[in-house]
Amino acid sequence: MGLSIKIAPGLRVSASSRGICTSMGPRAARLHVGAGRAGFSTGAGPITYGTSLGGRSRSRAPRTSLTALERQARAAEKAARYEAVGRVEQALVSAHREEFTPAAAPVLPEPTPVDPKDLRSMLRRQALEQIPRWKMRNRSTARKQADKRFPTALREETARRADERTAAQAAAEAEWARLTSGDPVTVIAALEAAFEDNVSPAAPIDSTGTAATVVVAFPPPAMVPERKQATTPSGKPTLHKRTKAERNSLYVRALASTVLATVKETLAAAPSVKEVTILVVRQDPDTHKPEDYLAAIYAGRFTRERLATLNWNQVDPVAELLLAPGAMLYRRGQGGDVLPLDLAAEPELAAVIAQLRAGL
């Protein structure tokens, strides 16, 4: 499992346990650089063909001098990898800085004015539909009758659109009233809509009106890039391999950033909610225990009052993760591995995990 980020149209950076890969170009002709050898892929519809550029030979090829163009290409590839690693790491730890527009009382736009020309043309077409083209006099009479009906039709269409807008505004205001009063069904529906485009999937599973419980799916540590930005003794940018402790540290920072971003989005989408309980689950196909294939790795409660005091450009996400009431996060050893939670003393959370496992 890895992370894929669209940097610009036609440019995507992917991070996995194999390293950083940059993909350039459309799907029909895409160049892949990094995470091994360079490659090329092409695809149309559901079919994709790919091949590596260059290859390995068991016999050592004679060393040849690089041309200036080849040196430039290699330098560009190294620079792209270096920049991509920085972008991926920044994306992992900066989710909590995103601003979410708070829900507000709905004000629907005024109805679109009726276009007189289009309305007149429609009335004429309707009047002429059943009249053959060779009956010129009948067609002329029908057009005149259509033009005579035009003023009334214009008033009726204008009134109809106004009535539709009034009805829609009333329905929206009723929905807003249910949301602000904490109607559980309305709150859950608002949160589901807000979470639809999240990078880390999230879903509300309960609401009492002033409180909500949200489950967040977070990938295993393999999503953290193996390499990090560094400099050579001469000061040139390069990439070094992260230690296990460094990878786990970045993993926890990414987890904390994602949790805080989810809490912010929950409070923005549901004005009545004052407290959010977050349960983070991880699906890890590399685990040695079947029961840990889908397991909880964090739980904690966050209040609107507390988050309103934070400076999001200076906050320490990990500190907020650990200081949250009821916070549960298990780490082991000098490497700081994040382990599944023991929910024996938390029957409600254990029931949620059991229900999620049953739905796989």
Tell me: the pLDDT tens digits for 246-265?
999 999 999 999 999 999 99
- Three-state DSSP class for 193? helix
Q: Tell me the pLDDT band of 73, cut-offs 50, 70 and 90.
A: confident
Rounded to an integer, the average pLDDT of 95-109 is 94
Maximum average pLDDT range among 68-72, 85-89, 323-327: 323-327
Selected residue with higher pLDDT from 98 and 284: 98
Same-domain pairing of 307 and 209 = yes
Percent of the chain with pLDDT over 90: 58
Backbone angles phi, psi at 278, to 5 degrees: -110, 130
Is 328's pLDDT higher than 70? yes
Are 158 and 198 in the same domain? no
Indicate whether 151 and 261 sit together in one domain.
no
pLDDT for the residue 54: 47
Binning pLDDT at 50, 70 and 90, where does residue 46 land? Answer: very low
The mean per-residue pLDDT over the stretch 317-330 comes to: 95
Residue 110 lies in a domain: no
Q: What is the CA radius of gyration of the chain?
A: 30
Higher pLDDT, 188 or 81: 188
Q: Is residue 103 part of a domain?
A: no
Q: 116-128 and 136-180 are packed helices; what angle lies between their axes, rounded to 10 degrees?
A: 130
161 shares its domain with 272:
no
Q: Is residue 268 part of a domain?
A: yes
For residues 135 and 227, state if they share a domain.
Answer: no
Q: Which of 180, 196, 211 is the last residue of a domain?
A: 180
Query: Is residue 102 a part of any domain in this protein?
Result: no
Binning pLDDT at 50, 70 and 90, where does residue 49 land?
very low
The whole-model pTM stands at: 0.73
What integer pLDDT is reported at residue 199 of this predicted model?
A: 84
SS3 6: strand
Q: Are residues 209 and 273 in the same domain?
A: yes
Q: Is residue 61 part of a domain?
A: no
Collect all residues with Cβ–Cβ distance below 8 Å to 183 and sequence separation of at least 6.
209
**Structure-token match 């690693």, residue found:** 85
DSSP state of 124: H
Is a pLDDT exceeding 70 seen at residue 57?
no
**Token pair for 9:** 């149209």
Q: Which of 114, 115, 121, 116 is nearest to 143 (CA)?
A: 121
Give yes or no: residues 196 and 343 share one domain.
Answer: yes
Query: Looking at the domain assignment, is residue 98 inside a domain?
Result: no
Task: Kindly tell me if the per-residue pLDDT of 222 is higher than 80.
Answer: yes
∠ at Cα 357 (352, 360), nearest 5°? 130
Q: Which residue has the higher pLDDT, 168 or 51?
A: 168
Q: Which residues constitute the domain of residue 281?
A: 186-358
Claim to verify: residue 293 and residue 353 sit in the same structural domain: yes
Q: Is 228 helix (H, G, I), strand (E, B) or coil?
A: strand
The count of domains in the chain is: 3
Please, what is the average pLDDT of the chain? 85
